[in-house]
Structure 1
């Protein structure tokens, strides 16, 4: 049963149903009553369908890290990314504190915009990678844990990828760099020379940095 309280500047609706407690303030009592009725219906529908009610994004992030990320090579990256995602404030509330049932494409769209324009803004490519991770978390919560009826990420507009960089270094630039690093077709004895060799290898193979690291065993050694 919902309750309503008159507050300065509006009405506060409070609901408590199936172990879920929520509240929200509106300009009029009619708006508060409409929200309370719709929200109670939504919670009942979720309970009837077997959906676990009351879980937050933070709950999903924590469980995903403990049950899924821990088995991945990129566990550290996923932990850092989910922590960053969870701390973003939308409407004065951190994403991690938002109830899963209230995570909508609109909320995730606001999160996307905040990530790309906020104080600690990141590139569209980074946002897309984070959306991929977030999508997997929410899909796992829906399919395996029954914490969601639907995954909202599929309806979120993705940032456009940055234009590809087609420029390659000239022979003179390559020569100057190798000279600066002390390498000139001689046995490698310093770290600077090793960097030069890695640079030449990357140019010839077009291999990305991570692929090169795995190919040479650098990342395996670090782990």
Structure 2
């Protein structure tokens, strides 16, 4: 039968340790953060023991975390988008470096929680040639992304491979997300950045497209020529975050550059920005970090070009529904952060109402 003991750790946290002793089986123990989880696990294991369905942990293959990462990268990761493969490959390699030598049955919520703390507290390695810059830490959303891929790996190992009894990541509290970041370029910063990007013509076009369309990084970097209709002056985005097709107008300098490039023949492939690897788009990260450092921009990410475009649209009189449609947001909540850029537009609306009715 199961025995559950309540214990208090040195840090003052409460844990519930379960020990199951049943004739014919080795004692089974496990520790949980919640009493409900402890009771549920005890009931499950006892039922499996009595019904002959219990597979003892010591009889399981002693797979390591690195073995699970290898199998995940081999069987699961190739089915995802190219941008997801790039990001999650980097995240999985971080997990391999930290806990790759651990056996899966030693992977506990406490281990995952320790990794979560380290992810948030350790500065990210600098990119480019920038020196003497302030350390940059992973945001809450980035830490959550690391936890998400590890959770999916553990769930797959539990449900499909039968390498784990339960997913330890599920018991770890995720960081509180703050999506209110709205860093955008000043006029002086924009001029400096564009001047530096002119040293890299492809990157310059990618930045101009981001500023004039508000499209996301992967939507621009992975662009194909067949998505671009210069006659209608529009770009059709297929690989959107919301999994919905979105059409954005392309005008001004971006349109002029695209027309110049369309006249160049032949093109190596359908990619607007062909990469060094056949069939892949170019990765601008090194060039981008170089330009950011040279332009002396602090705490500015490529995604902030999207915030900058949104702020320009708002200051040009775009309404919140118009902003949401152009940027590809399903709700108005995400564009409310730009409302403070539109006081003159709201004032004109009120003035029209007053002149007509009061």
Smaller-chain TM-score range?
0.5 to 0.7
8 A Cα contact 1:177 1:196, kept in partner: no
Equivalences, count: 174
1:125 pairs with 2:135? no
Gaps (5+ residues) in structure 2? Answer: 1-17, 30-44, 126-136, 225-270, 283-358
Query: Which residue matches 2:109?
Result: 105
The answer for unaligned runs of 5 or more in structure 1 is 1-33, 89-94, 183-189
**2:193 & 2:93 partners in 1: Cα distance?**
38
For the pair 1:42 / 2:28, whether they are aligned, the reply is: yes
Structure number with bigger Rg: 2
Q: Could you tell me which residue of structure 2 aligns to residue 57 of structure 1?
A: 65
Post-superposition shift, 1:61?
1.2
Which region of structure 1 is more displaced relative to structure 2, 48-57 or 77-86? 48-57
Note the aligned Cα RMSD (angstroms): 3.6
Q: Structure 1-normalised TM-score?
A: 0.62
TM-score (norm 2): 0.41
Quick one: distance in 2 between partners of 1:79 and 1:172?
37
Q: List structure 1 runs of 4+ shifted beyond 6 angstroms.
A: none
* Deviations 1:44-91 (CA, angstroms, capped at 9, x unpaired): x59953473532222211211222224443445433322211222xxx
Secondary structure in 1 matching 2:28: helix
Contact 2:221 2:281 in 1 (8 A): no
Work out the CA distance in 2 between the residues paired with 1:195 and 1:120.
Answer: 23
Tell me if the contact between 1:181 and 1:195 (Cα under 8 Å) persists in the aligned partners: no
| Matches for 1:107-186 after TM superposition, within 5 Å | 107-118=111-122, 122-123=137-138, 124-171=140-187, 173-175=189-191, 177-178=193-194, 180=195
Give the conservation status (yes or no) of the 8 Å contact 2:222–2:281. Answer: no
Any conservation in 2 of the 1:181–1:193 contact (CA below 8 Å)? no
CA shift in 2, pair 1:167/1:68, >3 Å: closer
Label 1:119 to 1:175 Cα distance change in 2 as closer, same or farther (>3 A).
closer
Which one of 83, 101, 109 corresponds to residue 93 of structure 2? 83
